[in-house]
């Protein structure tokens, strides 16, 4: 098309002096006509036979009837112009151009981007390929450079893991998608940033405008949430969710390779008592220490997790045989036997471990954990600081335990418990000076159930607290009733479990029971085991002193079977030691030597001593010759219900 045949809609006199820069270009890119503003903007000196392709990528403007782009001028080293293209006919285009000052356009672009992102706390950067063209002050503040420095940098110097997209990728990219990168500040520190590229008037093929937002706090929170989903925050060990995932994968591998693996369920002994006594902060510190001990067993084939409370799990892959599984359990127990120091306390921690082995004890992760858990409870009930391999009979016993637990709750509610009392005789006067209250369960169907069949279960389930309170009230009430009938006052002894002794408000509860029943405190004696007395020295001493101040007597039961520490006995406000009945065996001569030592030691510490389990005249004679203070046992009387015990008081 020749210049002569084109009729332009604008008078030449007006056209030349228009402030807007205007060009008319044919479909071959030849500049047909332009005004002074256009030639000045493009810095065109020779106005004959010019091609627009020498100044910009005109092909991008030919795609649509109307096009509006920000375009880089080829001869002006990155200079940008805003171009609006209107196709007049099939072979003629009108280009309306304006000089783009990025400084003038920054706020306009940012306002447009904000409308899409709905966020006002982000920085903005304009860049071409990797070169930073401009940015706002928020962007400058994020990275800590001077603005003049940033505009001379490449974006990859500021943003790590940044990828420069190819042109077609940018053009067809989903601009709603955000990318997360690492920002690098001038001082060398890094932060997490979110980068969202948005088009401005469809100019994305030439330059890109990106909104940058510091999302460090959000990323750290997300990572924390992810950590919490798979890790225990207190010990930094994996949690049950992670363990289940790893165990499931390990089972798949073991099935393919026809290998064994072992699952260990670990529980700390007496943790609840420690927690209740010394507080949850102390308990948390103890759990951290235990976690560190377990971490020492981390190997390629082991995986360790904390499930909840004081319970931990260990997975041992590629287990050769049951002996291999037992070996690890013994090593863990040995590690936990070493004392630990926390806040000035030296503690001896014991653990109970249950072990299940694949495929003998279960084929799924749930069965293996459940069976290891069941085996652990058997260990805790009978041994502690030991381990137990799962056996099929355990499942049946566990079902029986659940049934008995339900029956125990009914027994407490329906008054099926009774107290029997065993007399305690003073060897000097021959009088009955005390009675030990012993719990009996009179089941409506099964009759009397021995205490050793349900006491440990009551302790495990926490029912021992309610049962123990009932025993205390009933024993005090019965003893006061005998006194009210005119019988000579005696001391009633009541056994306290570890859970009872460590419960909060124990002293206040006992004081309340004494007030309710009217029994004088000097006629109540609380018996605690030797191992309980040595488990938490400061708390035990404090509680004992409060009980003694109240007037209640305190004795050590089963003495000689535990620590037998003279140091502890010298500082505990104990009134009496009870020699365990195991030392009454006449067939072992060393037993008599032990009994002699206990009697003489007790007297030297101004304590009374009582021997239980006395069944023969020979045993009685020996104890009399050694100046034992008191005795109890079948030789005098078995435990009796209150009505049958009255005869002993009448004789006196």
**3 state SS of 612:** coil
Nearest to 302 by CA among 388, 231, 237, 378: 237
Amino acid 343: pLDDT: 84
Mean pLDDT for the stretch of residues 42-58: 80
Mean pLDDT for the stretch of residues 622-646: 91
510 pLDDT more than 70: yes
Lateral strand order in the sheet of 351-358: 302-308, 311-319, 260-268, 351-358, 386-389
Amino acid 75: pLDDT: 75
Amino acid 203: pLDDT: 40
Mean pLDDT for the stretch of residues 225-254: 86
Amino acid 145: pLDDT: 92
- Separation between Cα atoms, residue 75 and residue 57, nearest integer Å: 12
Give 389 or 346, the one with higher predicted confidence. 389
577 pLDDT more than 50: yes
| pLDDT over 90, % of the chain | 32
Q: Label each residue of 380-407 as H, E or C.
A: HHHCCCEEEECCHHHHHHHHHHHHHHHH
The predicted model scores a pTM of 0.48
Give 567 or 320, the one with higher predicted confidence. 320
Amino acid 204: pLDDT: 42
Mean pLDDT for the stretch of residues 74-79: 70
Computed from CA positions of residues 390, 391, 392, 395, in that sequence, does the dihedral angle turn out positive or negative? Answer: negative
Q: What residues pair up with 194 in beta bridges, in sequence order?
A: 180, 213
| Tokens representing residue 464 in the block | 């021992």
| pLDDT over 70, % of the chain | 83
**Least confident span in 226-235, 332-341, 504-513, 608-617:** 226-235
Band (pLDDT 50/70/90 cuts) for residue 105 is: low
Q: State pLDDT tens for residues 334-382.
A: 999 888 888 887 888 889 999 999 999 999 999 999 999 988 988 887 7
- Separation between Cα atoms, residue 318 and residue 329, nearest integer Å: 15
Give 587 or 220, the one with higher predicted confidence. 220
**Least confident span in 318-322, 418-422, 642-646:** 642-646
DSSP at 640? B
């Amino acid at each position: 098309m020749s210049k002569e045949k084109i009729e332009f809609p604008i008078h030449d006199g007006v056209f030349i002096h228009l402030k807007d820069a205007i060009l008319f270009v044919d479909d071959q890119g030849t500049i047909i006509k332009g005004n002074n503003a256009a030639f000045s903007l493009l810095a065109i000196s020779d106005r004959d036979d010019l091609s627009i392709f020498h100044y910009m990528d005109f092909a991008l403007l030919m795609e649509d009837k109307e096009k509006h782009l920000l375009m880089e001028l080829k001869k002006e080293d990155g200079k940008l112009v805003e171009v609006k293209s209107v196709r007049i006919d099939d072979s003629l285009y009108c280009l309306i151009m304006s000089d783009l000052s990025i400084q003038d356009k920054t706020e306009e672009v940012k306002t447009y981007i904000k409308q899409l992102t709905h966020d006002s706390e982000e920085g903005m950067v304009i860049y071409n390929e990797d070169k930073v063209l401009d940015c706002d002050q928020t962007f400058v503040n994020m990275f800590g450079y001077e603005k003049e420095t940033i505009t001379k940098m490449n974006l990859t110097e500021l943003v790590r893991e940044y990828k420069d997209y190819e042109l077609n990728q940018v053009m067809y990219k989903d601009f709603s998608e955000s990318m997360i990168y690492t920002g690098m500040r001038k001082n060398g520190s890094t932060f997490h940033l979110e980068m969202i590229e948005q088009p401005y008037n469809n100019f994305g093929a030439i330059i890109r405008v990106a909104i940058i937002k510091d999302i460090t706090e959000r990323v750290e929170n997300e990572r924390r949430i992810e950590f919490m989903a798979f890790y225990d925050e207190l010990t930094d060990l994996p949690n049950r969710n992670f363990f289940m995932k790893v165990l499931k994968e390990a089972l798949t591998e073991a099935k393919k390779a026809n290998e064994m693996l072992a699952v260990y369920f670990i529980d700390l002994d007496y943790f609840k008592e420690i927690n209740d006594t010394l507080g949850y902060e102390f308990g948390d510190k103890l759990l951290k220490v235990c976690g560190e001990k377990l971490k020492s067993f981390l190997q390629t084939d082991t995986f360790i997790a904390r499930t909840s409370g004081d319970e931990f799990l260990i997975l041992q892959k590629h287990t050769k045989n049951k002996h291999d599984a037992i070996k690890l359990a013994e090593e863990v127990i040995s590690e936990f036997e070493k004392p630990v120091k926390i806040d000035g306390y030296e503690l001896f921690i014991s653990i109970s471990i249950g072990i299940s082995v694949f495929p003998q004890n279960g084929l799924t992760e749930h069965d293996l954990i459940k069976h290891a858990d069941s085996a652990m409870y058997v260990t805790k009930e009978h041994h502690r600081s030991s381990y137990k391999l799962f056996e099929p009979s355990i499942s049946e016993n566990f079902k029986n335990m659940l049934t008995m637990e339900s029956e125990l709750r009914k027994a407490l509610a329906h008054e099926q418990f009774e107290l029997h009392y065993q007399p305690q005789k003073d060897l000097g006067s021959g009088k009955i000076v005390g009675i030990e209250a012993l719990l009996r369960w009179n089941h409506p169907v099964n009759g009397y159930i021995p205490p050793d069949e349900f006491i440990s279960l009551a302790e495990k389930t926490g029912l021992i607290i309610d049962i123990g309170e009932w025993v205390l009230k009933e024993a005090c009430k019965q003893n006061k009733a005998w006194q009210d009938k005119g019988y000579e006052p005696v001391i009633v002894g009541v056994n306290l479990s570890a859970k009872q002794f460590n419960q909060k408000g124990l002293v206040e509860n006992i004081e309340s029971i004494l007030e309710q029943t009217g029994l004088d405190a000097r006629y109540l004696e609380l018996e605690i085991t030797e191992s309980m007395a040595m488990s938490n020295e400061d708390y035990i001493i404090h509680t004992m002193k409060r009980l003694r101040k109240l007037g209640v007597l305190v004795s050590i039961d089963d003495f000689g079977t535990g620590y037998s520490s003279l140091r502890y006995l010298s500082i505990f406000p104990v009134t009496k030691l009870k020699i365990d009945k195991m030392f009454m065996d006449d067939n072992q001569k060393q037993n008599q030597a032990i009994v002699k030592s206990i009697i003489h030691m007790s007297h030297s510490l101004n304590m009374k001593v009582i021997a239980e389990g006395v069944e023969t005249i020979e045993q009685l004679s020996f104890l009399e010759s050694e100046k034992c203070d008191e005795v109890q046992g079948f030789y005098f009387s078995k435990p009796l219900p209150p009505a049958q015990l009255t005869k002993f008081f009448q004789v006196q």
